[in-house]
Structure 1
Amino acid sequence: MRVPPSLAKLRYALIIPLAFAALASTPVYARTEVIIQQAPPPVRMEPIPGARPGYAWDRGHWRWQGRGYAWVPGHWQPVRRNARWEPGHWEARGPNWYWIEGRWVR
């Protein structure tokens, strides 16, 4: 059965805005939760560079890479107004370890 062109245009006129609305309503703070049963290695001591105006230092941390931990070196985060940087960290809950992503806190 063939759909008349005017009905096909109407269908697209409704579907496209709905698709954009679904993408726009996705929360920016959604995170992937990482749960591991193996404790991370001790945090490495890194030298913290001198102050850099407009940036906050995000210290290095261990990231789970599927079969083991890999070190991610520290880096600068652009400062957000009226917020402080809370670094990511591993948190033990029972036998599991959860990665809590770094974030800006007001």
Structure 2
Amino acid sequence: MKRAFFLVMATALMALGNIVGGDCWAQVVVEEPTVVETPTVVETPTVVETPTVVEEPVVVSPTYVPIPAPQQEVITPAPASGGVWVGGHWDRTPDSWAWVGGGWVQPPFRNAYWTPGYWQHQGGQYVWENAHWAAANQGLIVNKPVAAPPVYPEVVPAAPAATAWQPGHWEWRGTWVWIPGTYVESVVPTATWVAGQWVQGALGWQWVPAHWQG
């Protein structure tokens, strides 16, 4: 038994000696893990384009150019959302008149009123003010009356049936606004047209708009 043990041990030592004393060593290669680089994402900057504001040309005339008579149009039923019917109106371009049809519109603020385009008298010439929404402040009280500009000459067209001619006139709404003349239905046949005027009160002068009285 002891002899067999010594033979096994001798054989193992001889094998170990051959490995250690040999010319070649067993080389253990330890491979480094492959590093996968995360690609750098370069974000493209968001370009916010500034909206282009197209300014309408200022229309100036050395003389007053009469506004054409309004075209006839049919007022459609009001939409479910309500709104205000804005009648068709003429806009002035540098060369001619352009008709804009009426429609139902939501006023932009509570006390807004719609005023068609009109001519302003500035510096001896006439400047066209496009139709727009404005604040209703015609009842504004002032320290003293503000003189109205001269009345524009108008060509009165043929009268439709059962109507009365409402002459063009100036209205004070914090500034003077020209209201072109037009034919309107006369509620009372004997009604008379009363021009706007300044009325003095305890707090100052207040403008009373032109109206029909009958």
Residue number among 83, 102, 105 corresponding to 2:211 in the alignment = 102
After TM superposition, the structure 1 = structure 2 runs for residues 13-32 of structure 1, keeping only pairs within 5 Å, are none
Q: Deviations over 1:51-100 (max 9, x none)?
A: 2111101011111121x21111112211224423314333576x957434
Quick check: which one's helix share is greater?
Answer: 1
Q: CA deviation at 1:38?
A: 1.0
Residue number among 47, 50, 74 corresponding to 2:181 in the alignment = 74
Residue number among 159, 173, 193 corresponding to 1:65 in the alignment = 173
- Give TM-score scaled by structure 1 length: 0.51
* RMSD value, Cα: 2.9
Distance 1:34 1:75 in 2: 26
Aligned partners of 1:34 and 1:99 also within 8 Å: no
Residue number among 143, 160, 173 corresponding to 1:52 in the alignment = 160
Change (3 A) 1:88 1:56: same
> Structure 1 segments of 4 or more deviating over 6 A?
none
Give ranges in structure 2 of 5+ residues lacking alignment.
1-137
Q: Which amino acid aligns with 2:180?
A: P
Identity of aligned residues (%): 25
Q: Which amino acid aligns with 1:72?
A: I
- Matched residue SS, 2:183: strand
Higher relative contact order (CA 8 A, sep 6+): 1
- Matched residue SS, 1:71: strand
Q: Which structure is larger by alpha-carbon Rg, 1 or 2?
A: 2
Distance 1:35 1:44 in 2: 26
Give yes or no for the alignment of 1:40 onto 2:148: yes
Distance 1:43 1:97 in 2: 20
Distance 2:161 2:207 in 1: 32
Aligned partners of 1:80 and 1:104 also within 8 Å: no
